[in-house]
Amino acid sequence: MVILIVEDEAEIAELIRLYLTKDGFTCHVCRDGESALRHQQSLQPDLVILDLMLPKLDGLEVCARIRQRPGEKDPFILMLTAKGEEIDRIVGLSTGADDYVVKPFSPRELVARVRALLRRSLRLEESDADYETAHFRLDLEQRNAHIKGENSQELLDLTPLEFDLLATLISYPGRVWSRQQLIEKLWGEDFYGDERVVDTHVARLRKKIEPDHSPPVYIKTVTGIGYKFEDES
């Protein structure tokens, strides 16, 4: 699998490249936001490791532009940040990042997070089934999600993680998923991070699929436990 590393500090970029290359990944490195967009378009990587603070265009702008434009692949995006106070912005509703790592970080932790994201994609690719409910249809082979209207179906603009989250919830309507269960399902057992990241991604998904956010119609909170999906005719 191909990984694009976008990091302006040469030593950090080389450290990431060495560890990921040893793990069998094909890596390409660039040092600023503008070249990141060019390389993403030409390489069509499976995953982008994206530093927040970059010359020319910052990581948030690069992330937003990648999500806005079509391509052969919609890559996973793992954001790097040295500022703890930026975490909420990185995984917030206005960005398309799938995960984040705070500097300084362990290279082994970074590799584990990369593996977790890419494993999730491989697991879903093994199935060619469709999930269909009263108002949604998901094609796992094509990784397309549609919301059904009276006479048409609208293609939903979901990030890879949002698609996988929706597919997981829809696969067992009515089942209550704890945050930890969703983390293990989507990120893997070797996830390092705060369970609150689940809440942020659920909130972002709700913004795209719910007719009204208060209260949610489809993705419902189960107080003290987690979330469940319901879609009644």
At residue 101, the pLDDT reads 84
Between 16-25, 89-98, 224-233, the lowest mean confidence (pLDDT) is in 89-98
What is the third-level CATH fold of 2-123? Rossmann fold (3.40.50)
Give me 158's structure tokens.
């979901």
Between 7-11, 116-120, 127-131, the lowest mean confidence (pLDDT) is in 127-131
- Each residue of 21-61: pLDDT tens digit? 998 899 999 999 999 999 999 999 999 999 988 998 989 88
At residue 181, the pLDDT reads 84
Reading across the β-sheet that carries 226-229, which strands appear in turn? 177-178, 226-229, 219-222
Tell me how far apart the alpha carbons of residues 148 and 133 are, in angstroms, rounded to a whole number: 9
Who contacts 122 (Cβ-Cβ below 8 Å, separation ≥6)? Answer: none
Angle at 167 between CA 164 and CA 168, to 5 degrees: 85
pTM of the predicted protein model: 0.63
Q: Are strands 26-30 and 47-51 parallel, antiparallel or unpaired?
A: unpaired
Tell me how far apart the alpha carbons of residues 119 and 44 are, in angstroms, rounded to a whole number: 18
Q: Angle, nearest 10°, between helix axes 33-43 and 59-68?
A: 30
Q: Which alpha helices (H) appear in the chain, and where do they start and end?
A: 10-22, 33-43, 59-68, 87-90, 107-125, 160-171, 179-186, 196-209
Whether 180 has a pLDDT exceeding 80, the answer reads yes
At residue 93, the pLDDT reads 41
What is the third-level CATH fold of 127-229? Arc Repressor Mutant, subunit A (1.10.10)
At residue 19, the pLDDT reads 94
Domain ranges in the chain are: 2-123, 127-229
